[in-house]
Amino acid sequence: MTPHRSRQHPEVAVREAVAADLVEAAQIYQSAAMTLHEVLRLRNPWSSEDARAIDLREAIGALSDLSATPSGKVIVAETGNELTGVAAVRIRGRHAHIAFLFVLPAWQGKGVGGQLLARLREIIDAAGASVVTLVASRDPRAWQRYLRFGLHPGPPVMSMRARKPRFPDLVPGDGLESVPIERDRADVLEAVDRLDREIAGVSRLPEIARWLEHGAEGTLLRDRVTDRPVGFFIVSVHADHGRIGPVVSRTVTRFPDVLSRALQMAGRHERDVVWRVDLPSANHVAIGPLLDAGFSPHNLMPWFANGEIGRWDRYIFRDEDTL
């Protein structure tokens, strides 16, 4: 790809990231995020070396996933031999979700972030996506960039955590039959994909296959009487945390039953981990069951978008970067 040279800063070039860039790109993220926390005097989640190492590993994982899947794209800003910024986007059909935008502290305020966003705009337009969304930090400079990008603030995304969860036992009589989601079950995957298109708003079968390949477990729920798919969920355990999501229900009324089933599956994991859930503000029916299971809010993250995707009053995200 030809480097995209800036008008303001001829020495800064924006190009697609290669595998060898990703560790440095993740370090840019961590350095920018840590400096922002100091400036805003926020609680510092990187207080120990261990916490920094885990966070960096997660960022490298997220960037590797974005650059390895066809729906993702990672770009970097380069100045001489140094990477000075990183940005990433995931595009599924008409939806583009910007997952990373970070500039090295020494290079901030010099237009690098603007250049990265201009390149993302070209990538998003070329893919034909029209709805752009993102979960923002608390940096007003980032908000300024997003407003100029044509995005508007919306209801925040809530991240909840449970250190000592109390997962429910099987609820008898919910009338649901569970079918494992497996990569060789084309009929099950097709039903999952149909639910995903309707509720999440986009298709993401290759990503679901990837999560399963990496050890996530999924269940499709069918109504025992009508045999119709009611919802599905995915649960996974990572190095230092467990994750519940996506959780998808065809109706708001059925969402608590689908979520209960997901919480039961999480309860079957033996490992003692902190559990995480990221959910859209529109989903009110998830909150009661999550509080009952011992979850509490960890963060409310600013949301920017230029439109709506899916029916998020009956949806829990995979995570804030993936939706």
Ligand X SMILES: CC(C)(COP(=O)(O)OP(=O)(O)OC[C@H]1O[C@@H](n2cnc3c(N)ncnc32)[C@H](O)[C@@H]1OP(=O)(O)O)[C@@H](O)C(=O)NCCC(=O)NCCS
Residue ranges that bind ligand X, judged by CB under 6 A = 32-33, 36, 101-103, 108-114, 136-137, 139-142, 144-145, 148
CB of 12 to ligand X, least distance (A): 9
CB of 132 to ligand X, least distance (A): 13
Distance CA 296, CA 184 (A): 37
CB of 75 to ligand X, least distance (A): 13
CB of 78 to ligand X, least distance (A): 14
CB-nearer residue toward ligand X: 136 or 263: 136
CB-nearer residue toward ligand X: 139 or 196: 139
Residue of 297, 298, 295 lying closest to 165 (CA atoms): 295
CB-nearer residue toward ligand X: 64 or 79: 79
Tokens representing 212? 């399963």
* Measured CA distances, 136 to 79, 153, 245, 299, 313 (Å): 25, 9, 20, 12, 21
C-alpha radius of gyration, the chain, whole number: 20
Scanning the chain, the segments in alpha helix (DSSP H) are: 22-39, 49-68, 112-127, 140-148, 186-195, 205-213, 255-267, 287-292
CB of 115 to ligand X, least distance (A): 7
CB-nearer residue toward ligand X: 140 or 206: 140
CB closest to ligand X, residue no: 113
CB-nearer residue toward ligand X: 141 or 241: 141
What are the φ and ψ backbone dihedral angles of 127, each rounded to 5 degrees? -80, -10
Distance CA 233, CA 314 (A): 12
